[in-house]
């Protein structure tokens, strides 16, 4: 008999038993009116279920398979379910299952769950386990693998192209945050090759963890941009705009490949780079990135070239040193290094250095995400380069402690069209210092001359 709390509820006699229950070729239709992606419903077809030693007061063995929108199996699981109790409550039924999903064509996902913010192609497969109860404490360990995985952001995740006559499909839709799923997931990821928009990669491995709507990738390693990347990343899909972050170490990557993958500035900077960078932000549209992106990092670049400007020619032109700059429109260098932070839509450089055989540059300042430049730099000339300065040059240039000539510059304009001007404040200070030194030298010389004359007079007296 039911307890007082169970009166009025549907109960099944605890003595109900069956040795074997089978469901063959069934179809189940699942719909969730509260979910934008499941409003249209999802069908499980070709459903085959086998329950053995069925009882309400102890676990039952189960094996099952089903297809997503088709009869061919996409999901297989086996294990135990229950006990279900005298008053079955799906949210309280214990599960202990092993799951496998054979290679699944990702192009099928939009047709199954409706519009999503990513355009997917390739294949995925899963193998793992699920333990706990649907209502509380459900945990899954899933190992994910793919022979090929490609995805692009849909308009809901990125800014529509400027100047377009009409917005692309879906451009008016905002990203819909996901509700935290009633499960906690952990596992491993292994992707043989793939692509995220313009970024092609191979040999991706990582550990995956999820709690609520936040997903973490740790111990991430992949080959990309002709080098190797290692680090971690996270994204909270339960918030709009999306919140995300990453810490990444890049080793021996081709900087042009990396820049080309994530911006329109491809073809400007070439060389093999190593970098450590940490970034976090909210939103993926430019207006969101400009206001929310925060981070810091370092960059070391080996021999390479900058194609947007001939820095020495720009310095020579600003300093009115005709014939000093090398020919061509680019700068070839032996090395480049930088330390920077990211805030308010700008990369703020506390250290920016370039070295060549004929000169070196040290500077600081900001480079905006809008490509604007605001840099203060000193170009130090080697002795052979400085010897080319005309003797009748009217300018007095500052010198460092080693006596090498320095051309102080202000760099403005944009990354693709920089403008160079002498740092007049530094030049005036240098002129004052050199004039002071000349006066001091003359005074010292006059003192020595007077001392010598005095010594001669004293000799004549005695």
pLDDT at 364: 97
Domain presence at residue 358? no
* pLDDT at 399 > cutoff 50: yes
Task: Report the C-alpha gap between 73 and 66 in whole angstroms.
Answer: 5
Q: N- to C-terminal Cα distance for the chain? A: 139
Residues 155 and 241 in one domain: yes
Cα distances (angstroms) measured from residue 370 to each of 77, 157, 263: 51, 20, 11
User: Is the pLDDT reported for residue 460 higher than 80?
Assistant: no
Q: Is residue 423 part of a domain?
A: no
Give CA–CA dist 139/122, Å, rounded.
Answer: 27
- Average pLDDT, stretch 201-224? 95
Domain span at 47: 11-72
pLDDT class of 163 with cuts at 50, 70, 90: very low
pLDDT of 411 reads 96
- Confidence check: pLDDT of 412 > 60: yes
Q: Would you say residue 9 has pLDDT above 60?
A: no
Q: Last residue of a domain, which of 24, 40, 72?
A: 72
Largest Cα–Cα separation, the chain: 139
Does 37 share its domain with 125?
no
Residue 120 included in any domain: yes
pLDDT of residue 165: 40
Are residue 140 and residue 182 in the same domain, yes or no?
yes
pLDDT at 97: 96
- Percent of the chain topping pLDDT 70: 81
Lowest mean pLDDT among 20-29, 108-117, 186-195: 108-117
Assess whether 68 and 98 both reside in one domain: no
Q: Which of 63, 54, 151 is nearest to 107 (CA)?
A: 151
Give yes or no: residues 50 and 192 share one domain: no
Identify the pLDDT of residue 161: 39
Same domain? For 20 and 144 the reply is no
Highest-pLDDT range among 45-59, 107-121, 418-432, 437-451: 45-59
Kindly state whether residues 184 and 66 are assigned to the same domain: no
Q: Let me know if residue 425 belongs to a domain.
A: no
pLDDT of residue 168: 44
Per-residue H/E/C for the chain: CCCHHHCCCCCCCCCCEEEEEEEEEEEEEECCCCCCCCCCCEEEEEEEEEEEEEECCCCEEEEEEEEECCCCCCEEEEEEECCCCCCCCHHHCEEEEEEEEEEEEHHHHHHHHCCCCEEEEEEEEEEEEEEEECCCCCEEEEEEEECCEEEEECHHHCCCCCCCCCCCCCCCCCCCCCCCCCCEEEEEEEEEEEEECCEEEEEEEEEEEEECCEEEEEEEEEEECCEEEEEEEEEECCCCCCEEEEEEEEEEEEHHHHHHHHCCCCCCEEEEEEEEEEEEEECCCHHHHHHHCEEEEEEEEEEEEECCCCHHHHHHHHCCCCCCCCCCCCEEECEEEEEEEEECCEEEEEEEEEECCCEEEEEEEEEECCCEEEEEEEEEECHHHHCCCCCCCCCCCCECCCCCEEEEEEEEEECCCEEEEECHHHHHHHHHHHHHHHHHHHHHHHHHHHHHHHHHHHHHHC
Share of the chain above pLDDT 90, in %: 52
106 and 210: one domain? yes
Report pLDDT for 229.
97
pLDDT in tens, 377-392: 999 999 998 888 877 7
Q: Is residue 300 part of a domain?
A: no
Of 22, 37, 72, the position where a domain reaches its end is 72
pLDDT bracket for residue 174 (50, 70, 90): low
- As a whole number, mean pLDDT of residues 356-385 equals 94
From the list 294, 247, 253, 288, the residue with the least C-alpha distance to 272 is: 253
In a domain? residue 3: no
Residue 241 tokens read as 């705009």
Q: Do 63 and 107 sit in the same domain of this protein?
A: no
Domain boundary among 218, 246, 274: 246
Number of domains forming the structure of the chain = 2
Q: Where does the pLDDT of residue 8 fall: very low under 50, low under 70, confident under 90, or very high at 90 and above?
A: low
In this structure, the answer to whether residues 100 and 241 fall within a common structural domain is yes
Tens-digit pLDDT profile for residues 92-137: 899 999 999 999 998 887 666 556 666 788 999 999 999 999 777 8
Q: Which residues contact 421 (CB under 8 A, 6 or more apart)?
A: 318, 409, 410, 412
**Arithmetic mean of pLDDT over the chain:** 84
pTM more than 0.85: no
Least confident among 7-21, 32-46, 273-287: 7-21
Q: Are 107 and 121 in contact (CB under 8 A)?
A: yes
Q: Are 19 and 152 in a shared domain? A: no
CA distance 170 to 189: 30
The model's confidence at residue 192, banded by pLDDT at 50, 70 and 90, is very high
Least confident of 155-159, 171-175, 326-330, 344-348: 155-159
Name residue 295's beta-bridge partners.
279, 342
Do 120 and 241 belong to one domain? yes
Domain-embedded: residue 405: no
The pLDDT tens digits of the residues spanning 262-321 come to 888 889 999 999 999 999 999 878 888 889 999 999 999 999 999 999 999 999 888 888
Q: Does residue 125 belong to any structural domain of this protein?
A: yes
């Amino acid at each position: 008999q039911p307890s007082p709390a169970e009166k009025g509820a549907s109960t099944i006699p605890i003595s109900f038993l069956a040795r074997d229950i089978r469901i063959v070729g069934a179809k189940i239709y699942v719909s969730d009116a509260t979910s934008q992606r499941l409003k249209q419903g999802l069908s499980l077809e070709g459903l085959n279920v086998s329950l053995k030693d069925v009882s309400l007061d102890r676990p039952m063995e189960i094996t099952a398979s089903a297809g997503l929108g088709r009869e061919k199996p996409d999901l297989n699981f086996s294990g135990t379910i229950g006990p279900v109790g005298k008053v079955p409550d799906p949210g309280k039924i214990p599960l202990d299952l092993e799951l496998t999903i054979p290679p699944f064509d990702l192009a099928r996902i939009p047709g199954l769950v409706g519009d999503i913010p990513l355009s997917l192609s390739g294949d995925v497969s899963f193998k793992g386990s699920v333990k706990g109860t649907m209502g509380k404490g459900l945990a899954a360990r899933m190992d994910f693998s793919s022979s090929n995985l490609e995805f692009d952001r849909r308009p809901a995740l990125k800014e529509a192209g400027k100047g377009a006559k009409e917005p692309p499909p879906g451009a008016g839709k905002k990203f819909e945050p996901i509700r935290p799923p009633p499960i906690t997931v952990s596992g491993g990821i292994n992707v043989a090759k793939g692509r995220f928009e313009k970024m092609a990669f191979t040999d991706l491995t990582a550990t995956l963890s999820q709690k609520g709507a936040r997903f973490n990738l740790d111990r991430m390693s992949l080959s990309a941009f002709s080098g190797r990347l290692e680090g971690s990343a996270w994204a909270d899909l339960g918030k709009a705009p999306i919140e995300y972050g990453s810490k990444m170490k890049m080793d021996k990557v081709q900087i042009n490949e990396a820049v080309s993958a994530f911006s329109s500035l491809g073809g400007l900077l070439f060389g093999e780079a190593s970098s450590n960078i940490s970034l976090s932000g909210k939103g993926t549209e430019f207006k969101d990135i400009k206001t929310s992106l925060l981070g810091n990092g370092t960059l070391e670049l080996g021999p390479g070239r900058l194609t947007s400007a001939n820095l020495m020619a720009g310095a020579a032109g600003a300093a009115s040193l005709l014939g000093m700059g090398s020919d061509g429109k680019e700068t070839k260098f032996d090395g480049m290094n930088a330390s920077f932070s990211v805030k308010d839509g700008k990369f703020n450089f506390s250290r920016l250095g370039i070295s060549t055989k004929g000169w070196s540059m040290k500077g600081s300042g900001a480079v905006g995400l809008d490509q604007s430049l605001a840099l203060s730099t000193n170009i130090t000339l080697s002795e052979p380069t400085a010897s080319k300065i005309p003797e009748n040059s009217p300018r007095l240039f500052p010198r460092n402690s080693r006596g090498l000539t320095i051309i102080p510059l202000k760099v403005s304009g944009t990354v693709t069209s920089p403008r160079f001007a002498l740092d007049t404040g530094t030049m005036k200070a240098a002129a004052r210092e050199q004039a002071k030194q000349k006066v001091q030298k003359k005074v010292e010389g006059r003192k020595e001359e007077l001392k010598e004359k005095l010594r001669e007079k004293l000799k004549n007296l005695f």
